[in-house]
Structure 1
Amino acid sequence: MSSTTELAELHDLIGNLRRCVTSLASRYGNSPATRRIVNDAERILNDIDRLDIDAEELELARGVSGHQHVGERIAIPDTQYDREFWRGVDDEGLGGTR
């Protein structure tokens, strides 16, 4: 959901769902089936609220990471380094010095 229009449409649909569930609950009373429907609708409403928060976070993340700099690639050779390059460096538990 990247568009505020899509989110607005979703909120309209959820509003319709809420009205339908309220109508069903008033028509059929407090039965187990009605309670399940009411609970499911509430869960969906909570998920939509979370979706709003997630959409805001995604928009912020896209704004921050959307401008990634593509730099030049630097080749790293597979050849061994000169032993003098590593003089005085501890192996930090990698099996001792060479």
Structure 2
Amino acid sequence: MSTTTELDQLHELISGMRRCVTSLASRYGDTPAMRRIVNDAERILNDIDRLDIDAEELDLSRGVVHTHHHVGEKIGIPDTQYASDFWQDVDDEGPLTSPFD
């Protein structure tokens, strides 16, 4: 989804899907299968709405793709024993076992 044209094409397809679902619903009525189709279509429409929000945030609607590489800070974990009061209010869940033992 890197250009406005691709987003426009996606919205045209979504409009077609809406028309098809509406047509199917009028033909088959309120059946469990039809409700599932309508629900699936609504989920797709919601996902496309979120895609539009993300596209605006990433400037994809102008064809500009920004890649951000975030390098997290490494946090050292000491090898020393913790003080016994560190574990004071923790329940013992027993030894860890693997289901593959």
Please state which band the TM-score falls in when normalised by the shorter chain.
0.5 to 0.7
Structure 1 residues 1-98: aligned runs within 5 Å: 1-59=1-59, 62=66
Work out which of the two has the higher radius of gyration on C-alpha atoms and give 1 or 2.
1
Superposition RMSD in Å: 2.4
- For 1:20 and 1:59, how far apart are their aligned partners in 2? 31
Report the TM-score when normalising by structure 2.
0.59
- What are structure 2's unaligned runs of at least 5 residues? 69-101
- After TM superposition, give the deviation of residue 28 of structure 1 in Å: 0.3
- Give the SS at the match of 1:62: coil
Aligned residue identity for 1:41: A
- What are structure 1's unaligned runs of at least 5 residues? 66-98
- For 1:2 and 1:55, how far apart are their aligned partners in 2? 9
- Number of equivalences: 67
Partner of 1:91: none
Report the TM-score when normalising by structure 1.
0.61
- Give the SS at the match of 2:58: helix
- After TM superposition, give the deviation of residue 45 of structure 1 in Å: 0.6
Aligned residue identity for 2:66: R
- For 1:7 and 1:23, how far apart are their aligned partners in 2? 24
- Whichever structure has more helix as a proportion of its residues is 1
